[in-house]
Amino acid sequence: MKKLWPVLTDFFRRADMLLLALCVAASAFGIVVISSATASYGSSKYVIIQSAALLLGIGMFILFTVIDVDIIAGSWPVLFAFNVVFLLILIPFGVSGDTGNSGWLRFFGIGIQPSEVVKVIYIVLMAKHISYLKEYKNLNSVFSVAQLLLHFAVMFGLIIFTSDDLGSALVFFFIFLVMLFAGGLKLYWFLLGLAALAALTPLVWTKFLQPYQRDRILLPYVPSIDPDGFGIRWQPNQSKLALASGQLTGTGLYHGPQSQSSALSGKHTDFIFAVIGEELGMIGCCVVLLLLLLIIVRCVYVGLHSRNTMSMLVCFGVASTILFQTFENAGMCIGITPVIGITLPFFSYGGSSMFSLMAAMGLVSGIRYRPKPERYRRYG
């Protein structure tokens, strides 16, 4: 016990306990709301699974705090191969989840969403790739940009091909953009990419997107799509109704008319923000957004005070994940962004999302765990 105590005190002193406290607070808040959202189902399995995922996530946080991210990134060929194979497994074994895509693996009643696990590894690999090109090559050369685009395209394409999960693929795209910007890619490359995207959009729109996907994208901005509100507009309409009925303080947990009925689908997953708005009101929504904002700010802060470029990029990649998912999830609940099956970090039900996010936060904590070398600290 005497030998263990110094180890524990050293861990608590060096690890990012503030970040852990914020994540646990958000997750515990989410479990309470999940309990309310699923009360009408007459089963406590969702609360039990989410609680177990949180405990596993805390273990992942500790593990990835202790393991040096540079050591993890050093095995990049193995990690990249794992990402590819893990996604390809979805072709023969993928099953549909609540979002309708085939992005889930289920074994003995346990569901795993590979895109959530792969996302964390992708952040580490992309950080390694960008930092290597920045420090040993020329990040802004055509060859370097082509390498990074190929790296991203492989992962983006695999997600679309294996699971048809556009929502997860867009998260990867946003992470890619933020990490490129933070890594120092010149503005003209972004402008060139924007021009290329604009040129390719008509082709992708007409040849690759299904009619229902096009309708989902246009739904928040084109009133003529499903004007009666009994088709694809039903979910966002019920979500907005729930949010509006909550007003400032909400109807109270377990007392939301929409949340406690079958009118609001996906209420414990994609539309949990609507449950929070109805039962805890605008105050509850603000508390949720504040917690997520503090987590994002903490990740950015650790990144700005990290010891090297790769560590900084990992922190920015994790922060961008929380930022995009929060904006998209809250946006689709209030009807300003398309409904594409993006969960609210730490709050939505999902074991894969929970322990993957906690592992990502462990990476950020691990970067704080190992301070900058003296030569960097000396000059601020």
pLDDT tens digits, residue range 59-81? 999 999 999 999 999 999 999 99
Percent of the chain residues topping a pLDDT of 90:
72
Tell me which residue has tokens 């990690």.
79
Tell me which residue has tokens 């609940």.
333
Q: What is the pLDDT of residue 1?
A: 60
Q: How many CA atoms lie within 13 A of 174 on its CB side?
A: 18
φ, ψ dihedrals at 111, nearest 5°: -100, 140
End-to-end CA distance of the chain: give it in Å, rounded. 38
- Given a cut of 90, whether residue 372 has pLDDT beyond it is no
Q: What is the pLDDT of residue 92?
A: 87
Q: What is the pLDDT of residue 310?
A: 95
- Given a cut of 60, whether residue 5 has pLDDT beyond it is yes
Q: For residue range 264-315, what is the model confidence (pLDDT) as tens digits? A: 888 999 999 999 999 999 999 999 999 999 999 999 999 999 989 999 999 9
- Given a cut of 50, whether residue 376 has pLDDT beyond it is no
Please tell me the distance from the alpha carbon of residue 294 to that of residue 22, in angstroms, as a whole number: 8
Strand partners, 97: none
What is the average per-residue pLDDT within 148-160?
96
φ, ψ dihedrals at 278, nearest 5°: -75, -45
Three-class DSSP category at 271 = coil
Q: For residue range 193-225, what is the model confidence (pLDDT) as tens digits? A: 999 999 999 988 988 888 888 888 889 898 888
Q: What is the mean pLDDT of the chain?
A: 91
Q: For residue range 255-266, what is the model confidence (pLDDT) as tens digits? A: 999 999 888 888
Q: How far is CA 31 from the centre of its chain?
A: 17
Reported as a pLDDT band with limits 50, 70 and 90, residue 378 is: very low
- Given a cut of 50, whether residue 377 has pLDDT beyond it is no
Tell me which residue has tokens 């900084």.
312
H or E, element range at 112: strand 110-112
What is the average per-residue pLDDT within 314-333?
97
- Given a cut of 70, whether residue 253 has pLDDT beyond it is yes
